[in-house]
């Protein structure tokens, strides 16, 4: 650093040099200003872009909320650097200049005195500025605290105003008349008949109708315009103030629970799923199929007759369901009651029938005992949601994401679950009778005691699933994937298992009477106690099957493509074999043919009979196709196409 004060023969020359560290300070200040400019540009960009395209999510908001602390730190560092660099010398320089000033006053040259005076004034000004810096920093901190308090008060006021708007009502006048229904021995019943909406007569005979005069009635009803405005105000508050997000969600969820409670839902008109007897015959299975089709039609008609959803509740559900990933992350990280993992949307026991919830996000939501019959849940996000005992009969759940969800004892009769994702979900005791589960993903799901009678599970993925005690009588499991599945005690009477992949599946005491096993891959499956009767198994692969007996195989018929375990059967001591056809129709054969025809009308009943029954030109043949599991498929075998 150059000298501050230099005295030579010509007089006194005051020289103020630029400290060496001042360039570094200027560079740091410029960098700070540049960073602030970049953050501002990012903020402007975020305002103009949808949520998924935002840059550095939350960074600018964090800077805006916490800029005072870095500013004070920067000021303290700058002040300390200035004192350490050169400000500590200022008092010494002032003392030296005063001493020199006394010497100069003794002479006649006044130019030196003027220079010293200018320098003294500059240094005194710098000291004054330095003295005010701590007070300015404190003032900035106080102003920031005041501004935050005002913002919090404003937010609270906006929330209170919005909550008041959620309860807005209006009085409307309608023209109606009292109508009294009376019958001897029964109390009178009076209802209001509105003009243009005639009351129907009671279904019971013997009631007498007595109508009063038309008059004006004042009725109070929700002011939907004000309520919807309040809903969107709360959404804006949750977006602009992340700290208020969970409080706003609590308010909106409470609004749904109070204005659409499950207790007000109409009774489920189709009634409970009919129970069928144990070990029913194929004739019962055929009649059941007809009954189930009729029941499905009744269910669709009942769903269409449900009242339309309320506009305000629909708006709330859309606001809740379009939360961005940042807000959802806040919910997962929130501190809640002891034992709870993060925050959950509380929509339990809500009436969401026929509401449009498609593409909305309800991850980890609490939907216990919610009524969602006929709801549109296409591609809805419900991963990890609690859906215990939820009612979703006739709902549209195509492409819905429910991985890891708790669906124990949920009711999804007749629901459309095409390509639904339920990997690892808890579906114990769930009811999915007659549901469409085409290409549904349920790998590793807990489906113990689940009810899927008559369900369509074409190409469903259930590898490693727990299906112990599941009910799948008459279900379509064509090309379903159940490798390694636990099917102990499962009921699959009359099920279509053609082309199913069941390598390593445990079929202990499974009921498979009349099941269609043509083209099924059953390698290394476990057959202890499995019940088989009159099952076609053409092109089925039973190589490596464990605990299978010849008595079980005698219930099959197959062809040259039916692959059997190598070795001898334990109950006969002879090589495993199947017969090519039945010499006499087995029990329920006619019903079996009829059922298979209904499952696949492209093959006529006469063709099925010709394929299954022996004839003079097609006598019974013992087929011994025992092969090791490691052997390749014979040329032209249908399962060779899917061999890895």
pLDDT in tens, 299-337: 889 998 899 999 999 999 999 999 999 899 889 888 776
The rounded distance, in Å, linking the Cα atoms of 16 and 5 is 8
**Domain extent listing, the chain:** 5-164, 169-193+208-222, 442-644
CB 475 within 8 A of CB 455: yes
The rounded distance, in Å, linking the Cα atoms of 140 and 147 is 10
The rounded distance, in Å, linking the Cα atoms of 141 and 69 is 8
Largest CA distance in the chain: 148
Q: Which of 418, 485, 403, 407 is nearest to 451 (CA)?
A: 407
Identify the CATH number of the domain defined by range 442-644: 2.160.20.80
Query: In which element (H, E) is residue 536 found?
Result: strand 535-536
Q: Which residues pair with 186 in a beta bridge?
A: 183
The rounded distance, in Å, linking the Cα atoms of 236 and 618 is 77
Segments in the chain below pLDDT 50: 1-9, 11-18, 50-57, 60
Pull the structure tokens for residue 104: 């100069």
Task: Report the C-alpha dihedral over residues 118, 124, 128, 134, rounded to 10 degrees.
Answer: 120
The pLDDT score that the predictor gives to residue 589 is 84
The pLDDT score that the predictor gives to residue 2 is 45
CB 346 within 8 A of CB 364: no
Pull the structure tokens for residue 425: 């979900």
The pLDDT score that the predictor gives to residue 261 is 96
The pLDDT score that the predictor gives to residue 91 is 66
The pLDDT score that the predictor gives to residue 7 is 45
The pLDDT score that the predictor gives to residue 54 is 47
The rounded distance, in Å, linking the Cα atoms of 208 and 372 is 39
The rounded distance, in Å, linking the Cα atoms of 184 and 630 is 83
| Number of helical (H) and strand (E) elements in the chain, helices listed first | 13, 12
Give the three-state DSSP class for 159: helix
Q: What region does 6 belong to: left with phi over 0, alpha with psi -120 to 50, or beta?
A: beta
For 242, other C-beta atoms within 10 Å of its C-beta total 15
Rounded to 10 deg, the angle between the 90-105 and 111-166 helix axes is: 150
The beta strand positions in 92-238, using DSSP E, are 169-183, 186-194, 208-211, 215-222
186-194 vs 208-211, strand pairing mode: unpaired
The rounded distance, in Å, linking the Cα atoms of 407 and 387 is 5
The pLDDT score that the predictor gives to residue 46 is 55
pTM for this predicted structure = 0.76
CB 640 within 8 A of CB 633: yes
The rounded distance, in Å, linking the Cα atoms of 370 and 353 is 9
């Amino acid at each position: 650093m150059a000298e501050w004060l230099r005295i030579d023969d010509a007089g006194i020359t005051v020289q103020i040099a630029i400290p060496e560290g001042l360039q570094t300070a200027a560079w740091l200040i410029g960098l700070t200003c540049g960073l602030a400019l970049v953050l501002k540009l990012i903020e402007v960009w975020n305002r103009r872009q949808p949520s998924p395209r935002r840059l550095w999510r939350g960074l600018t908001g964090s800077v805006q909320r916490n800029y005072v602390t870095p500013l004070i730190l920067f000021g303290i560092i700058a002040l300390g650097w200035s004192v350490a660099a050169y400000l500590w010398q200022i008092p010494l320089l002032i003392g030296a200049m005063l001493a020199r000033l006394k010497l100069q006053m003794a002479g006649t040259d006044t130019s030196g005195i003027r220079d010293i005076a200018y320098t003294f004034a500059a240094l005194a000004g710098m000291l004054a500025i330095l003295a005010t810096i701590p007070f300015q920093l404190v003032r900035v901190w106080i102003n920031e605290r005041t501004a935050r308090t005002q913002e919090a008060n404003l937010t609270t006021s906006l929330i209170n105003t919005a909550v008041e708007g959620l309860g807005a009502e209006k009085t409307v006048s309608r023209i109606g008349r009292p109508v009294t229904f009376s019958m001897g021995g029964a109390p009178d019943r009076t209802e209001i008949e509105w003009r243009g909406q005639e009351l129907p007569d009671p279904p019971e005979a013997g009631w007498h109708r007595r109508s009063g005069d038309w008059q004006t009635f004042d009725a109070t009803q929700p002011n939907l315009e004000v309520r919807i405005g309040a809903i969107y105000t709360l959404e804006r508050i949750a977006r602009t103030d992340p700290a208020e997000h969970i409080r706003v969600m609590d308010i909106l969820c409470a609004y749904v629970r109070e204005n659409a409670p499950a207790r007000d839902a109409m009774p489920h008109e189709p009634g409970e799923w009919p129970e069928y007897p144990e070990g029913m015959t194929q004739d019962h299975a055929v009649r059941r199929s007809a009954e189930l089709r009729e029941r499905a039609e009744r269910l669709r008609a009942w769903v269409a007759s449900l009242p339309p959803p309320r506009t305000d509740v629909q708006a709330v559900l859309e606001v809740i369901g379009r939360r961005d990933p940042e807000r959802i992350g806040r919910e997962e990280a929130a501190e809640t009651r002891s034992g709870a993992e993060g925050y959950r949307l509380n929509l339990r026991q809500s009436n969401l029938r026929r509401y449009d919830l498609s593409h909305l996000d309800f991850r980890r939501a609490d939907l216990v005992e919610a009524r969602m019959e006929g709801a549109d849940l296409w591609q809805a996000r419900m991963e990890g949601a609690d859906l215990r005992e939820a009612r979703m009969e006739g709902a549209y759940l195509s492409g819905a994401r429910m991985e890891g969800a708790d669906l124990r004892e949920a009711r999804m009769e007749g629901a459309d679950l095409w390509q639904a994702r339920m990997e690892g979900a808890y579906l114990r005791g769930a009811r999915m009778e007659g549901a469409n589960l085409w290409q549904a993903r349920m790998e590793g799901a807990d489906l113990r005691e689940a009810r899927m009678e008559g369900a369509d599970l074409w190409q469903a993925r259930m590898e490693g699933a727990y299906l112990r005690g599941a009910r799948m009588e008459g279900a379509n499991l064509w090309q379903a994937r159940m490798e390694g599945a636990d099917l102990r005690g499962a009921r699959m009477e009359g099920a279509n298992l053609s082309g199913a992949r069941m390598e390593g599946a445990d079929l202990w005491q499974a009921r498979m009477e009349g099941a269609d096993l043509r083209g099924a891959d059953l390698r290394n499956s476990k057959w202890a106690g499995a019940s088989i009767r009159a099952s076609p198994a053409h092109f089925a692969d039973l190589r490596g099957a464990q605990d299978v007996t010849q008595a079980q195989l005698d219930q099959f018929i197959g062809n040259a493509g039916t692959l059997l375990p190598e070795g001898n059967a334990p109950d006969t001591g002879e090589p495993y074999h199947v017969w090519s056809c039945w010499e006499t129709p087995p029990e329920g054969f006619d019903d079996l043919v009829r059922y298979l025809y209904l499952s696949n009308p492209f093959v006529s009943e006469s063709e099925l009979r010709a394929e299954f029954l022996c004839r003079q030109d097609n006598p019974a043949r013992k087929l011994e196709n025992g092969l090791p599991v490691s052997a390749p498929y014979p040329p032209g075998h249908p399962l060779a196409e899917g061999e890895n």
